[in-house]
A and B are shown apart, each in its own frame.
Chain A
Amino acid sequence: MLKDKHLTVTVSPHIKTALTTEKMMWIVSCALVPAAGAGIYFFGFHAALVITVCVVSSLLTEFLCTLLMKKPATIKDGSAFLTGLLLALCLPPELPLWMCALGGFFSIAVTKFAFGGLGYNIFNPALAGRAFLMGAFAKEMTTWKTLQVFPDGITAATPLNLLKEQGYDSLMKVFDSHSHLFRELFIGRVGGSIGETSAGLLIIGGLILLFARIITWHIPVSYIFTVMVISYFTGGVFGIPFHLFSGGLVLGAFFMATDPVTSPITPKGQIIFGIGCGILTMLIRIRGGYPEGVCYAILLMNSVTPLIERYSKTKIFGVKR
């Protein structure tokens, strides 16, 4: 009866999970929608344009790269879309659009395809794109749209900027009280990149990723915990919520540091990676020249990922340590 049927012969297993790479990429993108929406809501129409240009430029670059390198078209797999979206979310809302397009191009062409395409890049493409723009257009990349009404003409925008350049007292002058500052940070009514403002919505997105089993707890928990510990010892009780909710920490910990390609493959390695990200972030925020350190912290840890993996191998069943 099976004579006329073609039987496929392969090695086992013969069934597989429904969670494919493509689905993972689109779920991550969806998890970012609330934060992206809040960015557009708070910063206005130009933020929407930044997001659109970044995504389109990433997709276009991906398409051209696969075409030129004669690789199978991967534009559908969602990874380029996600890179574009993540890049946009860590850019200032008023950034000129041609710079956004250039960022998307750099992320995909240089960071991803020059290293071999999906799965082979060393650095997180979105963050590398941001770092490139930061190096190339430092002024535009640090011009923030102001949301607060500043009582005495203070123009510095992000709370981290304010703290670093003008000190705690100036920060308090703007926000009156701790509770007011923390509330604004959590909701996202502060200056900053498009997607890194609303800590609350980003945490919701992060939880979606955890529950959908796209990411594991190892990197976000170790990263955030490390930041909390260091901020407690440097800034006391005020430091913990301030450092946790301001800047790109939540976005970085849930969406950037967890990029599977550029983070360690073993759970133990992921914890080391997260701790490293936390230490570097706080080092830059407190001692470094920049007010915010998430981007460079993650990029630096990306570069030591192979090294971490070498020393964080799993324990093989039945083999004594």
Chain B
Amino acid sequence: MKAKITFKGGIHPPENKDLCGELSIKDFPPPGIAVLPLQQSLGSPSEPVVKKGDKVKKGTLIARSKGYISANLHSSISGEVIDIKKAPHPLLGEANAVIIKSDNRDEPEKDYSTEDVSAAGLSSGEILGLIQNAGIVGLGGATFPAHVKLNPPPDKPVKTLIINGAECEPYLASDHSLMLNNAEQILKGAVMIKKILNAEKCLIAIEENKKDAVSLFRQKLNSLKDIAGLEVLPLNVKYPQGAEKQLIYTLTGKEVPSGGLPMDISVLVHNIGTVFAIYEAVFLKKPLFERVITVSGKGIKNPANWRVRIGTPFKTLINHSGVTDRTIKKLIMGGPMMGLAQYTDEVPVVKATSGILLLTSEEAAAFEHLPCIRCGKCVTACPMGLMPAEISKMVEKGRIDMAKSIGLMDCMECGSCNYICPSGTNLLQYIKLGKYEYMRSKNAKR
């Protein structure tokens, strides 16, 4: 079976996923120095529980969640806390971080390699506790703390759990490689989540360009027990197929209401990487201190998928992968459509890092901002049914109120409009500015 419908709009950028070649996951050596920013999730930053000079091991809790929407943070290497200070942050520019110097022993807090088979019998509360302790956040990029997402209010029960394996961003292949290498563990994690939520069914959604992953998951589903209600659904290859609202619409035909959450229509979406992290937390009692990322782009000599420790500086990964002698233009965290351009390679891998791209001047587009010719391509491409050119022009003229009235705040910043615009107009830049201005004036009125 395949997803029958598709969402409106979307684009087909060149995939460039084959740069990585084989889809094995290589283990990246632990870094000499790990930079662990306290802000690793949406919500409040965590609060350090270690101080300068403390000895830590791999997996030691170094900062505790503070507030409801916040997540624990663990050391990713063994060594000594040498400082807690401001350091470059890939999302925030600069933020407080725990700096750990490695003792090169890579000693774990406990053994993380043996599977605890009794975990399958744990209660929902116990499982949630394990997930919370492990500091798991949404690894698709939104970094919403998983234990909060998995604990919806009682009046909003989740009937359908969707495991998002779309990975629609060009270049990135980390989820794909994870699906091929850890299919069984991901399924176990999915079963666990389905149990916590008491969901009726669990749909594993994978874009059709990953046929091997689709057939592997189907094969595993046939051979595993206790998988009632699980189903693998291939999706059309189209960006942004993996965007939460578009994914839900494709699979269920239902629209998440504007300004609402998936649980408003009894759905919950988790990314493949998050599901795997939940498996590790529950069955291996392993906190989230490493993740799989893609290091790619035509500026990288040996693109690959790495299992890398959180806190590894980008430059360590880039040096290890080698830089080609082409003209480097941009360093991106994430994919080329929604990723964030970095001003320095000193920034560390955080929980939100799905990839590091070094783009050459021929790959990274130059946006000229020529006059809009009103071709309407942005309107056709917008998966949210917006009129990006109109919204952007209103923001440009300072009419945030008008922009708001035609859906400014519904934009999810997928960048499809900006990609397709023949004038090279920076539509998304204006839309983001408009959203920022709107929130600022709203907060000022309070």
Interface on A for B, CB 8 Å cutoff?
1-2, 5, 7-17, 19-21, 23-24, 77, 117-120, 216, 260-261, 263-267, 270, 313-320
Contact = CB atoms under 8 A, between A and B. Distances in A.
Top 10 A-B pairs ranked by shortest CB distance? A13-B415, A119-B371, A16-B365, A260-B375, A318-B258, A265-B376, A9-B341, A14-B336, A317-B384, A21-B422
Given A266-B376, A316-B407, A11 B315 contact: no
A55 B7 CA distance: 43
A266 B364 contact: no
Interface in B382-399: 382-387, 389-390
Interface string B354-373: 00011100011101001111
Given A14-B359, A15-B363, 9 more contacts: A7-B344, A15-B14, A15-B336, A15-B364, A21-B423, A23-B422, A24-B375, A267-B380, A316-B386
B379 interface: yes
B367 A16 contact: yes
6 contacts: A2-B345, A2-B358, A7-B344, A8-B329, A17-B11, A120-B371
Contact of A317 (B258, B357, B415, B429): B258
A20 B345 CA distance: 32
Contacts of A264: 376
B245 interface: yes
A266 B387 contact: yes
Nearest to B16: A15
B108 interface: no
Contact of A13 (B315, B336, B374): B336
B424 A317 contact: no
Given A7-B328, A21-B423, A316-B410, A12 B340 contact: yes
B373 A315 contact: no
Contact of A10 (B323, B367, B423): B367
A267 B8 CA distance: 12
A315 B13 CA distance: 24
B328 A316 contact: no
B428 A14 contact: no
Contacts of B426: 10-11
A102 to B, nearest CB: 26
B337 interface: yes
Interface string B256-269: 11111000000000
Contacts of A7: 328-331, 341-345
Contacts of A314: 379, 382, 385-387
Contacts of A17: 11, 13, 419-422
B419 A313 contact: no
A299 to B, nearest CB: 17
A319 B387 contact: no
Nearest to B417: A13
A142 to B, nearest CB: 33
B364 to A, nearest CB: 5
Contacts of A313: 387, 406
B318 A2 contact: yes
B258 A265 contact: no
B365 A15 contact: yes
A266 B245 CA distance: 22
Contacts of B336: 12-15
A265 B428 contact: no
A77 B258 CA distance: 39
B88 interface: no
Contacts of A266: 376, 379, 387
Contact of B371 (A9, A11, A14, A118): A118
B341 A10 contact: yes
Given A1-B323, A119-B374, A216-B380, A317 B387 contact: no
B184 interface: no
A267 B380 CA distance: 8
Nearest to B430: A11
A313 B373 CA distance: 18
B274 interface: no
A25 to B, nearest CB: 9
Interface string B212-251: 0000000000000000000000000000000001000100
B344 to A, nearest CB: 7
Given A11-B432, A13-B419, A265 B387 contact: yes
B369 to A, nearest CB: 11
Contacts of B367: 10, 16
Contacts of B365: 13-16
A11 B428 contact: yes
Nearest to A72: B370
A255 B410 CA distance: 34
B418 interface: yes
Given A316-B384, A316-B386, A318-B255, A21 B370 contact: yes
A320 B265 CA distance: 14
A21 B419 contact: no
A315 B383 CA distance: 11
Contacts of A14: 330, 332, 336-337, 339, 341, 357, 359, 363-365
B92 to A, nearest CB: 14
Max chain B Cβ within 10 angstroms of own Cβ: one of A1, A23, A314: A314
A55 to B, nearest CB: 20
B256 A16 contact: no
B260 A12 contact: no
Contacts of B13: 15, 17
B246 to A, nearest CB: 8
A266 B338 CA distance: 25
B429 A11 contact: yes
A124 B385 CA distance: 27
Contacts of A270: 376
